[in-house]
Structure 1
Amino acid sequence: MKVAIVHEWLDSFAGSERVVEQFLAEWPEADLFVLCDFMPEAERGFLGGRPVRTSFIQRLPFARKHFRKYLGLMPLAVEQFDLSGYDLVLSSSHAVAKGAITGPGQVHVSYVHSPMRYAWDLQHQYLREAGLDRGLKGLYTRRLLHRMRMWDRASAAAPDVVLANSTYIAERIRKAWRRESIVVHPPVDVERFALRAEKEDFYLTASRMVPYKRIELIAEAFRRMPGRRLVVVGDGTNEARVREAAGGAPNIEFRGRVSTAELVRLTQAARAAVFAAEEDFGIATVEAQACGTPVIAFGKGGARDIIVAPPAGQPTGLFFAEQSAGAIIAAVERFETLAFVPQDCRTNAGRFSREAFRAAMRRIAREALEGLQG
């Protein structure tokens, strides 16, 4: 059996690349196709030295730094890949990879991280944040996104099987594409995060400081709870706003970007991890659970697939209902009245292991191929 893997682009090892890594581990003889490959040498280990086949976007002017600006050409680029010689095509898609063309006698299974949010429900937010909500550039961008939406929905019919990385993304797929999907949670290296039952008296939030993460709400909440300590890990474009929300409170400690070993240590030691974003899934949430650490999270998005909340008999965290400092304060106060067992958190994390992901992918690919043969 010949297998092809199609992915949008390689420029850093992040969540979607972890999926590609497990595809390659399960199907080591597969050929890998990407629109462009600018992955730093230090992060290429998961590729195992295998060749990467790229599209014409790889050779366009200034593509190394500005390949995302060629969004309008990406549908054409992915459609140019000749996949006719493959029995099974696996796509890892957050933009256009699902539009790869296959024919009769082939099976295409598309793992969808999200429909293009900037083309659908987050279009207006994207335009505002990019300063493209007015003027000629804004008009051009709106026209481009309109065309991308039409192509996105049409190409959603291409895969034989659509997989969603969470129930939340399955709902977005149903809304945008009018397609049903199967939920397969993304792979998390839970073995890298060992259980620690003894906790210290601090709360942790760790992520990139970008607007949608809403870390400023967590900082404001703990500024208003001077008796509780918060450790903030990460940096990013929204750091100034987060520090302003913290107001120099002595109970809030900014660590900046830390090593992987230090992040693991902090996650293991924290009384609880706190997240305020509406995430597609939330790998950091699973990593905290793997450490035996409960999670306090905004109750929308992928977190609802991960956290087991009261009144469940073995809770691993709890939710707050709105993105506000007041809601976070109320959740922390409630958290401290409840009992959480670190081993329950660790057991819960096992549902999202790399082995569980690969087993699900094997089963789905086998069933799709058997269905074609039948």
Structure 2
Amino acid sequence: MRIAIVHEWMDTYAGSERVLEQMLALFPDADLFTICDFLPDDERAFLRGKVPTISFIQRLPRARKWFRYYLGLMPLAVEQFDLSGYDLVISSNHAVAKGALTGPATLHVSYVHSPMRYAWDLQHQYLRQSGLDRGIKGALTRLLLARLRLWDHASSARPDVILANSAWIAERIRKAWRRESTVVHPPVDVEGFPYRPSKGEAYVIASRLVAYKRVDLVAEAFRAMPDRKLIIAGDGAEMPKVRAAAGDAPNITILGRVPQAELVALLQSARAFLYPAEEDFGIGMVEAQACGTPLIAFRRGGAADIVRDGETGVLFPEQSAASIADAVRRFETLSIAPEACRANAERFSNDVFRDRLLHAIRTACAARGMPGP
């Protein structure tokens, strides 16, 4: 089979690039297409020497720094890729990749990290956080998002098969696009987070300090529980708010950004790992479970796919300090086995992802009466 992979854009090795890495491991001879490629040289190893086909956006003024400002042109850009000679097209989508044009003989399988968040249910949150909820710039942005919403819905009919990265995203796909999807959880490098059964006394949260992560709520909860230790690792724009929520509580330690080795050690020794954000999936939760560490997480989003409530962690119903504190107290009444946490994490390994992706593609090929890869 001639296979093409369409990826959104590449400027750093992050969550969607981990998915792309496993797709390339599964299909090393596939051709790669992407809106733009600004990956640093020291982050390109996962591409296995592959040079992607890029769009015209790569050549626009100051694209390296400002390519996201060309979002309104990205639907046009992805439609310019000539995929007519391919038997199988796999798109990795969180914005426009699933809008690639294919012919009737081509099977298009789209792995969806999320529908275009800022154009659908998170539009108002995005506008507020960007300071675009009023004024002329805000009005123009709303107009752009309205047009993107129309294109996003229309182009959602182009893939033959849609794979969602969690049950939460499957629901968002159903709501935004009126399409059904199959859940294939994203890959997690569980081997990079070795199992350790012995745990310390401190609870841990490790996260970028941005508004939707709600790390301030965890700090507020533990400020009211002075007999329990909390370690906060991470940095970002919300650091002043997190420090204010923690106050001068002696039981709370704020480390800032930590190296990878120190992060792994924190996850291995944590009494439990806290996750108050509503995430599409939440790779950090699986990494903590791989270390044998229980989770205390917000029930909505990907956590519902990851946490086995009462067995590998505790889910809490509201994003509030009181709900987090109640969950901590409930957790302390349970006996959660570290080996159960590790076994749970194995469900999301790189090998499992590749197997499930290949099975979904072969099933789709069989349904069309075409040979599979």
TM-score (norm 1): 0.98
1:222-245 CA distance string (max 9 Å, x none): 111111111111101111111110
The 2-side partners of 1:78 and 1:242 are apart by: 40
How far apart are 1:85 and its partner, in Å? 1.1
Please say if residues 194 and 291 of structure 1, whose CA atoms lie closer than 8 Å, have aligned partners that are also in contact. yes
Separation (CA, whole Å) in 1 of partners of 2:137 and 2:331: 48
Residue equivalent to 2:348: 352
1:83 lines up with 2:107 in the alignment: no
**Which amino acid in 1 is paired with 2:107?**
V
Q: Tell me the secondary structure at the aligned position of residue 32 of structure 2.
A: strand
Q: Which residue of 2 aligns with 1:100?
A: 100
Find the counterpart in structure 2 of residue 141 from structure 1. Answer: 141
* TM-superposed deviation, 1:40: 1.0
Give CA-to-partner distance per residue, 1:191-226, whole Å, 9 cap, x none.
Answer: 111111100000000010000000000001111111
Measure, in 2, the Cα distance between the counterparts of 1:350 and 1:165. Answer: 16
- Equivalent position of 1:299 in the other structure: 299
Residue by residue, what CA displacement relative to the aligned partner does 1:243-280 show, whole Å, maximum 9, x if unpaired?
Answer: 11000211111111111111111100000000100010
1:74 maps onto 2:74 in alignment: yes
Contact kept in structure 2, 1:221 and 1:328, CA below 8 Å: yes
Task: Give, in whole Å, the separation in 1 of the partners of 2:360 and 2:331.
Answer: 39
In structure 2, distance between residues paired with 1:248 and 1:366: 57
AA aligned to 1:99 is G
Query: How big is the shift at 1:151?
Result: 0.3
Counterparts of 1:267-306 in structure 2, within 5 Å, are 267-306=267-306
Provide the rounded CA distance (Å) in 2 between the counterparts of 1:364 and 1:129.
Answer: 37
What code does the residue aligned with 2:329 have?
A: E
**Whole-angstrom CA distance in 1 between matches of 2:102 and 2:221:** 51
Equivalent residue, structure 2, for 1:342: 338
Partner SS for 1:237:
coil
Distance in 2 between residues matched to 1:133 and 1:127, nearest whole Å: 5
Deviates more, 1:171-180 or 1:133-142: 133-142
Alignment partner of 2:313 out of 310, 317, 328:
317
CA contact (8 A) 1:201 1:229 kept: yes
**Using the alignment, how far apart are the partners of 2:294 and 2:136 within structure 1?**
48
Give the aligned residue type for 2:212: Y
Asked whether 1:247 is paired with 2:247, we answer yes
2:365 match:
369
Residue of structure 1 in register with 2:199 after alignment: 199
Query: Are 1:3 and 2:8 matched, yes or no?
Result: no
What do you get for the CA RMSD once the two structures are aligned? 0.8
Distance 1:301 1:258 in 2: 26
Counterpart of 1:111 in structure 2 is: 111
Instruction: Report how far residue 129 of structure 1 moved.
Output: 1.3
Check the 8 A contact 1:223/1:246 in 2, yes or no.
Answer: yes
Amino acid at match of 2:190: V
* Partner residue, 1:42: 42
What is the deviation of 1:189?
Answer: 0.5
Q: Residues of 2 paired with 1:293 and 1:122: CA distance?
A: 31
Q: Are 2:9 and 1:18 aligned?
A: no
Q: By how many angstroms is 1:133 displaced?
A: 1.3
| CA displacement, residues 127-181 of structure 1 (integer Å, 9 cap, x when unaligned) | 1111111221111111100000000000000000000000000000000000000
1:129 counterpart = 2:129? yes
- Aligned with 1:6: secondary structure? strand
Whether the 8 Å contact between 1:295 and 1:317 is mirrored in structure 2 is yes
In 2, are the aligned partners of 1:297 and 1:319 still within 8 Å (CA)? yes
Q: Which residue of 1 aligns with 2:329?
A: 333
Distance in 1 (alpha carbons) for counterparts of 2:50 and 2:336: 45
Q: Can you list the C-alpha shifts for 1:24-62, whole angstroms capped at 9, x where unaligned? A: 000000111000011111111111111111000000001
Three-state SS of the structure 2 residue aligned to 1:284 is helix
2:324, 2:132 → 1: CA distance? Answer: 33
- 1:66 to partner: Cα distance: 0.7
Unaligned runs of 5+ in 2: none
For the Cα contact (< 8 Å) 1:34–1:53, is it kept in 2?
A: yes
Question: How far, CA to CA, are the matches of 1:164 and 1:172 in structure 2?
Answer: 9
* 2: CA distance, partners of 1:367 / 1:305: 23
Confirm or deny: 8 A CA contact 1:105 1:372 kept in the other structure.
no
**TM-score in terms of structure 2 length:** 0.98
Q: CA deviation at 1:294?
A: 0.2
Determine the structure 2 residue equivalent to 1:120.
120
Report the Cα distance in structure 2 between the residues aligned to 1:288 and 1:12, rounded to whole angstroms. 23
Task: State the distance in 1 between where 2:253 and 2:186 align.
Answer: 31
